[in-house]
Structure 1
Amino acid sequence: MTEDPFTAVEQAIWKARPHGVPAAAAKILTTHFGADHAVTLLVDYRMAHLVPVGADTGPDAGPDAGPDAGGDAEPVPLDATFEGRAFATQQTIVEPVDDGAACRLHLPLTVHGERIGVLSVHLPGPSRPEDHPALEAVATMVARALKVADGHTDVYRRARRRVRMTLAAEIQWDLLPGRSCESDEFSLAGQLEPAYAVWGDNFDWSLDAEHLTVTVTNGTGRGIEAALLTQLTVSALRNARRSGAGLVDQAVLADEILHAHHRGARTAATLLLRFELGTGRVTAVDAGSPLVYRLRGTTVEPVTLDAQLPLGMFGDTRYVEQEFWLQPGDRLVLVSDGVHQAQSPGGEVYGASALPRALRQTRLQGPPEAVRTLIRELLHYHENTELADDAVIVCLDWTGKSGQTAARPAGD
């Protein structure tokens, strides 16, 4: 190992073309860290597999080798694999090879809480814990470079899709801010389902120094019409939010814009939440069908909000802001009507008892894994038949600021 490999690592990774980041990372790991080879695996859209990119990662791989180079490696299931454990736990996992004579280190690739995938590094000798911090630092650099590169090439998105994606789903995925995010005060994750054919359901969030804003939107209709409606809704909400508007004004502006375009024929059921990071106070505008459930300890209960008209129905609706409070340790789960109104083949509504039961079962999982579990439970509830409606699940764990002492209403 060289005395200062990190300068070489940074130069190699950031000089690589967008599609060549995995190969550049692998080459630097073989040259400066003694690895036999390394491979970057990205999580697929359904969050079921880790898909290898830049498979040709030996010391002879060129600096611009693309993610399809090599092409022989198979996707790795997230469940019951070493790679999947690294992704799920967000910890470095050691996989012994050749009875411990060699090893693979599986390193999470994560940026600001967004889980991108796993960097798997094959080392010629047994694991040495003292080497892990350096390799974890390399994984952090690789994750950040991949996040930037993803906006300049299609190759990573091609790799992450395992079947053909509809145009409506393409629009919805491109709208997302990410699939997970975390800060000192919270951890947050969301998922769309069915991943490759979602229509009008979407979620959005934005974080600044004092607030987190989260929205869940369900555009009416199906296919491309629903996707375009949701795209217009999310863009209108973002435009208002980025102009400094509060929740009420965000809803009012989106309502006006949707009505001007569709004259009430198409509406977007939307839930808007704004979290005060310093206090745990949550303000809300409930403009439609998405619901909020709170898990406090082992108790699951809906957060009761006064339902208001969906965005776009009349164009002059006056929305009202409501509030509730969170305590450290609380979990919020936001679901679209494709979740809480889903019916089993026998006609039982999912939100009646199965959803609260599933929420309690996830209380020991972090939000990203909880969302995966809830999606699996939803599909199982349908007995693995096709969903009748697309669905959004967003999970937020609230830790709050250290020493948070702001007053809150009794009993909340």
Structure 2
Amino acid sequence: MEESESGGMTAWVPLVDGAERLGVLAVQAPSLTPAVLRRGRALATLLAMMITSARAYQDSLVRRTRTNPMALPAEMLRAFLPPRTIGTGHVVSTAVLEPAYEIGGDAFDHSLTETTLHATVLDAMGHDLASGLTTAVSLAACRNARRTGADLPELVECVDDALARWLPDQFCTGVLAQLDLASGTLRWSNCGHPTPLLIRDQRLLVDAMRREPDPPMGLPSLLAGRQRQTHEIALRPGDRVLMYTDGVTEARGADGAEFGLEQFADYIIRATAAGELAPETLRRLIHSILDSSTSRLRDDATILMFEWSRPPC
């Protein structure tokens, strides 16, 4: 809330679709009585539902939200992406992907069932339409296997088979994970990708999820004949897990130096200590990289972070 320049007061009410923040609504009135705030929240809820529904088929709404032309690979991949934030009372998963208009091969996916959070980060070889196609096929294979009840090893195998069949000259790195919501047991497979990070009690546990990675997904993995490995770790309530692509740690800051793994983790830790919600943490983190005129991304940058808390018995 703040005083309005034209007199009266202004309240900023969040527009929220489930766990995803779409924007804010300014409510102006001579005085912000409980009735005014109640009507403002009701209007914000209605507007959020209208925006969520309309943006799926109304190009006029999409055009108004864009500030630059979108490259074809980015247009294709963003059509596949889920909401940036999903969650329940016991887990929240949130992600960002930049640059918004020029991504080539990065993508993320997350979904919930009654018992499990599924989370995936992918990075295809190259920065052209072929890399976008590779990631799109990988995402589709993940979802197809997941929706038929495939376990994690079978899911990775489905991506290998799909790429080998349809795009034999392409490959894709990634981390595919499944979190049991009741127990906090996290299982994952690392296919040639940067090691996920675990933050616990406001500390980075550097080697907690470090395992020897398997080869990237695709025909080369099938030809290698190496069995995929599935890893497991028990999370504690309040743990945050970060899955990311190397474009994040290779980003250049205002001083020209690489953002780096330590600075990346330190930002998340400080935000956690300040009680910042996970979606807001990632929003501020990516803007800290992008907003400076001298900062720049050398590659696509994707971050997916989820936080687990134990359900009541």
Instruction: Compute the TM-score of the two structures, normalised by the length of structure 1.
Output: 0.69
**TM superposition shift of 1:348:** 6.0
What is the CA deviation profile of residues 53-80 of structure 1, one whole-angstrom value per residue up to 9, with x for unaligned ones? xxxxxxxxxxxxxxxxxxxxxxxxxxxx
| 2:3 aligned residue | 96
Query: What SS does the aligned partner of 2:64 have?
Result: helix
Q: Secondary structure at the match of 2:176?
A: strand
Between the aligned partners of 1:293 and 1:251, the Cα distance in structure 2 is 21
Q: CA RMSD in A?
A: 2.3
**Alignment correspondent of 1:112:** 18
**Cα distance, 1:383 vs structure 2:** 7.4
Identity of aligned residues (%): 28
Residue 19 of structure 1 is matched in structure 2 by none
- Per-residue CA deviation, residues 186-212 of structure 1 (Å, 9 max, x unaligned), is 222111111111111110011111111
Q: Which runs of 5+ in 1 are unaligned?
A: 1-93, 404-412
Which has more radius of gyration?
Answer: 1
Partner of 1:367: 278
Question: How do 1:174-253 residues align onto structure 2 when only pairs under 5 Å count?
Answer: 174-253=79-158
What residue identity is the alignment partner of 1:232?
A: V
Partner of 1:267: 171
Written as runs of structure 1 = structure 2, the 5 A alignment for 1:132-151 is 132-151=37-56
Distance 2:295 2:239 in 1: 33
> Is residue 390 of structure 1 aligned with residue 266 of structure 2?
no
SS of the aligned residue for 1:314 comes to helix
Alignment of 1:36-185 (within 5 A): 94-97=1-4, 102-123=8-29, 125-185=30-90
Q: Does 1:314 align with 2:225?
A: no
Q: Contact 2:253–2:294 at 8 Å: present in 1 too?
A: no
Runs of 4+ more than 4 Å apart: 341-349
User: What is the alpha-carbon distance in structure 1 between the residues aligned to residue 33 and residue 253 of structure 2?
Assistant: 50
User: What is the TM-score normalised by the length of structure 2?
Assistant: 0.89
Q: Is the 8 A contact 2:73 2:132 kept in 1?
A: yes
Distance change >3 Å, CA 399–CA 224, structure 1 → 2: same
Counterpart CA distance in 2 for 1:386 and 1:175 is 26
Which letter does structure 1 place at the counterpart of 2:264? L
Aligned equivalents of 2:226 and 2:42: distance in 1? 51
5+ long unaligned stretches in structure 2: none
* Letter aligned with residue 238 of structure 1: R
When residues 267 and 117 of structure 1 are mapped into structure 2, their CA distance, relative to the original with a 3 A threshold, is same
Q: Deviations over 1:81-114 (max 9, x none)?
A: xxxxxxxxxxxxx3333675x3333221101101
Residue 351 (structure 1) aligned to one of 255, 260, 264: 260
- 1:337 paired with 2:246, answer yes
Structure of greater relative contact order (alpha carbons < 8 Å, 6+ residues apart):
2
The number of equivalent residue pairs is 306
